[in-house]
């Protein structure tokens, strides 16, 4: 036994010594990183980029181009990682040549990924972070890459995220001669799910995770989107045309807008909204401001749990919330949501010509669950992540027209059920954003500094009691409002401007 103990100690020193040496090594030049040896990966290029000299590959949005034009100089490193014979994961790491804040921030993707998130990297670099992004292992705009390539699907689902973290940290350490003092993940939508994935599957990769609008059980989310579409189009007369959305939205506002003490076009607490679309049922002939009996049933279904057509069991909580009516077309339009169609087409049917009209809710939900199970990476058991001191900031727009707002609420509750209520505010916190659409936009205060909120949390040890968010019209801020830790909501104090955050307090919702 004595020999075993000594051998064990020696092994520990053998594992720790390279890390310690790397942490105290002399800084390297940017060009020398081209010869850096990485496990499972190869550096394909490394070179300095002058201030404002980086140009986005086309197509590039105007806002992204402006952001890049203001970037400071940085060292740009490109990496190709091949953890399996069928892997081809592209990673970029950007390193400030001066003014590094000592930290690392990786940024997430959207949809089926397939591209490096340059604009998000630019935002991180501008704050002094060393930053990284991955294309998740493929370069196609949809899910066709997954057909007959199970390892590429695994890369997309989770492995590329871990590869990015490992190789980026090695590059950061080599360039600066020291390891980052903190590692942060920041993403929304698919990027939000990627954050939950990292917390659950790779709890040692990041110290803090900012996850917005994350679909947790992705296979089921895609399936119920297709179920909802079939419900909307169950008969020739059940579809609600977009021309009627404003009338429905106005009726919802009349019923629920003033519950927070001010009528401002924003429902602070959709969970407390009681609205029955039957109030809009046409009394005589169909018209632009009323709903037929079939359309009333459709509107009710859009706010309701999604149930199995045979057993009646709940497949998923509501996909849409009161206040989201103007954007119902994303999930209840003429065609199903494209990401859901792509999932069934390439992961289940494996047929590029598959027609969504063939989707059968009675049998195909289970098929989707089985074929796309690899996408379900957001396990709510985050005990290992929290045990390391990890922090998870969740946020979601109540008016999200793509990923159900209920997803984040339910995930938050499941995590707390597993780890205990003491984790709330210490290790995990959820902030719901009234009136915000998918990740951004909408009538609500959709602009807020998530990274600054997380930095404050890490410094103080407690999640912010509120986050001040703003709304802008034509580039000018015209409203601020506090975002509250769920389940609290912002309530008007009774005095002061209703467009100022200081006039509101975070309080428990009225039931």
User: What is the set of active-site residues?
Assistant: 189, 400, 438
> Strands, DSSP E only, in 4-98?
37-38, 41-49, 74-81, 89-96
User: Cβ distance 126 to 101 under 8 Å?
Assistant: no
User: Cβ distance 436 to 481 under 8 Å?
Assistant: no
The neighbouring-strand residues paired with 394 are: 211, 430
Strands 208-212 and 103-107: unpaired
The neighbouring-strand residues paired with 306 are: 316
3-class SS at 250? helix
Q: Given CA atoms 192, 198, 203, 207 in this order, what sign does their dihedral have?
A: negative
Contacts of 277-285 spanning 24+ positions with Cβ under 8 A: 277/248, 277/251, 279/251, 280/247, 280/248, 280/251
Contacts of 407-415 spanning 24+ positions with Cβ under 8 A: 407/214, 407/215, 407/216, 407/221, 407/317, 408/213, 408/214, 408/432, 409/271, 409/486, 410/216, 410/317, 411/196, 411/214, 411/216, 411/378, 411/380, 412/486, 414/380, 415/380, 415/381, 415/382
3-class SS at 325? helix
3-class SS at 255? helix
3-class SS at 9? helix
**How many CB atoms are located within 10 Å of the residue 500 CB?**
12
User: Cβ distance 213 to 439 under 8 Å?
Assistant: yes
Q: What angle do CA 401, 403, 409 make, to 5 degrees?
A: 115
b/e burial code for range 229-239 (CB count within 10 A of at least 16 → b): bbbbbeeeebe
Which residue bears the tokens 């210490």? 426
Closest CA to 433 of 113, 124, 188, 185: 188
User: Cβ distance 263 to 252 under 8 Å?
Assistant: no
């Amino acid at each position: 036994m004595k020999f075993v103990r000594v051998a064990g100690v020696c092994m520990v020193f053998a594992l720790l010594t390279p890390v310690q040496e790397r942490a105290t090594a002399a800084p390297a030049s940017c060009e020398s990183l081209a010869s850096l040896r990485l496990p499972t990966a190869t550096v394909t290029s490394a070179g300095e980029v002058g201030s404002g000299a980086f140009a986005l590959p086309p197509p590039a949005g105007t806002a992204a181009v402006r952001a890049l034009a203001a970037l400071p100089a940085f060292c740009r490193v490109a990496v190709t990682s091949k953890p399996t014979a069928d892997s081809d994961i592209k990673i970029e790491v950007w390193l400030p040549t001066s003014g590094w804040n000592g930290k690392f921030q990786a940024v997430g993707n959207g949809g089926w990924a397939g591209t490096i998130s340059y604009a998000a990297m630019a935002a991180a670099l501008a704050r002094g972070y060393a930053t990284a992004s991955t294309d998740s292992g493929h370069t196609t705009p949809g899910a066709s890459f997954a057909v007959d390539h199970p390892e590429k699907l695994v890369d997309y689902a989770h492995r590329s995220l871990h590869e990015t973290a490992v190789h980026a940290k090695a590059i950061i350490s080599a360039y600066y001669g020291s390891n980052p003092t903190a590692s942060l993940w920041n993403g929304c939508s698919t990027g939000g799910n990627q954050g939950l994935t990292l917390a659950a599957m790779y709890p040692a990769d990041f110290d803090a995770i900012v996850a917005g609008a994350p679909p947790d059980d992705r296979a089921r989310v895609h399936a119920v989107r297709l179920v909802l579409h079939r419900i909307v189009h169950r008969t020739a007369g059940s579809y609600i045309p977009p021309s009627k959305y404003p009338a429905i939205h106005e009726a919802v506002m009349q019923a629920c807008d003033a519950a927070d003490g001010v009528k401002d076009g924003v429902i602070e607490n959709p969970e407390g909204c009681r609205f029955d679309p039957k109030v809009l049922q046409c009394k005589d002939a169909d018209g632009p401001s009323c709903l037929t009996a079939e359309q009333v049933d459709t509107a009710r279904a859009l706010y309701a749990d999604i149930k199995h057509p045979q057993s009646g069991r709940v497949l998923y909580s509501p996909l849409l919330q009161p206040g989201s009516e103007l954007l119902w077309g994303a999930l209840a339009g003429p065609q199903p949501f494209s990401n859901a169609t792509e999932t069934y087409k390439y992961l289940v049917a494996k047929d590029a010509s598959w027609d969504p009209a063939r989707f059968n809710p009675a049998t195909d939900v289970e098929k989707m669950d089985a074929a796309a199970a690899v996408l379900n990476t957001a396990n709510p058991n985050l005990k290992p992540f929290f045990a390391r001191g990890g922090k998870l900031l969740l946020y979601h727009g109540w008016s999200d027209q793509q990923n159900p707002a209920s997803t984040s609420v339910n995930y938050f509750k499941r995590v707390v059920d597993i780890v205990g209520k003491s984790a709330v505010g210490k290790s995990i916190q959820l902030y719901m954003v009234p009136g915000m659409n998918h990740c951004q936009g909408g009538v609500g205060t959709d602009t807020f500094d998530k990274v600054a909120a997380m930095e404050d949390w890490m410094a103080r040890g407690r999640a912010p009691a509120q986050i001040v968010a703003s709304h802008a019209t034509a580039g000018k801020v015209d409203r601020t409002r506090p975002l509250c830790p769920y389940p609290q909501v912002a309530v008007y104090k009774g005095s002061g401007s209703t467009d100022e955050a200081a006039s509101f307090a975070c309080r428990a919702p009225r039931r």
